[in-house]
A and B are shown apart, each in its own frame.
Chain A
Amino acid sequence: MKEPQIDDLKKLLKDSLPPAHGVELQRDLWPAMLQRLDQRTLRVPWWDWALLATLTAALCIFPGIIPALLYHL
C-alpha cells in the first residue's frame, strides 16, 4: 500500500477522531490506588479456595483419612 493512500485515511481519521495530545489528568488517582491495594490484600487467592475444595472433597470421598489426619495434626 502506498504512503499517499495511508495519508488520505490518516486525514479522515484525524478529522473524526482528534488526537488526545492536550488531555490532562483532572484528579489525583492515589486514593483510588490505595483502595485497590487494600481490596487486593483482603482477597483470598483462587488457588487457596481450590485447595480447600479439593481437601473437602477428599475428606467426603475418603472419610477414613480423617483420623489419620487428626493424628498427624
Chain B
Amino acid sequence: MELLERFAAGDVDAFESLFRQHQGEVYRWLMRIVRNTAVAEDLTVETFWRMHRAHARFDPARGNCGAWLRRIATNAAIDHLRHARREVPLPDDLPATAQQPHGEQLELRREILRAMNNLSPRVRAVVLLALVEEEPYQRIAEALGISESAVKLRVFRGVRILRKTLSEAGVHP
C-alpha cells in the first residue's frame, strides 16, 4: 500500500514518514508568515496535529500532500496571528538586512512592523507572502483556499492600509 493510503488508514508509521518528509517545507512556509523561529516550530507541530486528526478525510487519490499541508499551515498561522494580535505586536526575529539596522533604519523598521500589525491577520498573511516573499498569487490562493482575484484584492487592500498608516507616521513610500 502507498504511503498516503496507509496514512489515510491511520497508520502511525506512515504519518511519521510524511512528517519527516514535509516538516522542513511546512516550517519554511510558516516562517514566511509568522517570521519567528519558536512560533514557526510550534505551528509546524500544530499543522501536523491537525493533519493527523483529519487523516480520515484525506483522499490519497488526489495525492498532493504538500498543498494540503500548506493550506492547514496557513490556517494555523492565521489563527495564531489572530490571537497574538491582541497580546503582542508582530514578532520578527529575522535580521533586517545583512548589516544590523541602526538609527533611522531601526525606526523605519519599527514603523513598518507597527503598520503590519494594523492589518487583519488574513490580509497580513497575503501581504507578507505576495510582497515580501514574492510567492506566486496562484500558490497563495491555493494555500488560503480562495481565488487569485481575491488574493489580488487583499494585496490592494493591504497596500492601501499600509500606505495610510505609514503616511500618518511620517513615512512616505
What residues of chain A have their CB less than 8 Å away from a CB belonging to chain B? 1, 5-6, 8-21, 23-30, 32-33, 36-37, 40
Contacts and interface: CB of A to CB of B under 8 A. Distances in A.
B118 interface: no
B112 A17 contact: yes
Contact of A17 (B23, B24, B94, B159): B94
A26 B127 CA distance: 26
B97 interface: yes
B129 to A, nearest CB: 10
Interface in B106-150: 108-109, 112-113, 116, 127-128, 131-134
The 10 closest A-B pairs by CB, nearest first: A25-B27, A16-B109, A20-B31, A12-B173, A16-B112, A10-B131, A9-B173, A25-B24, A23-B31, A8-B173
B38 to A, nearest CB: 11
Nearest to B163: A9
Given A25-B27, A29-B45, A13 B20 contact: no
5 contacts: A6-B159, A9-B163, A13-B162, A29-B45, A30-B16
Given A9-B131, A20-B32, A37 B52 contact: yes
B155 interface: yes
Interface string B44-61: 110011001000000000
A36 B35 contact: no
Interface of B: 16, 19-20, 23-24, 27-28, 31-32, 35, 37, 41, 44-45, 48-49, 52, 92, 94-97, 101, 105, 108-109, 112-113, 116, 127-128, 131-134, 155-156, 159-160, 162-163, 171, 173
B96 A16 contact: yes
**Residue of A12, A14, A25, A26 with highest tally of chain B CB at under 10 A:** A25
Given A16-B112, A17-B112, A25-B23, 6 more contacts: A10-B132, A18-B97, A19-B32, A20-B32, A23-B94, A25-B44
A37 B32 CA distance: 26
A32 B45 contact: yes
A17 B101 CA distance: 11
A24 B150 CA distance: 30
A30 B155 contact: no
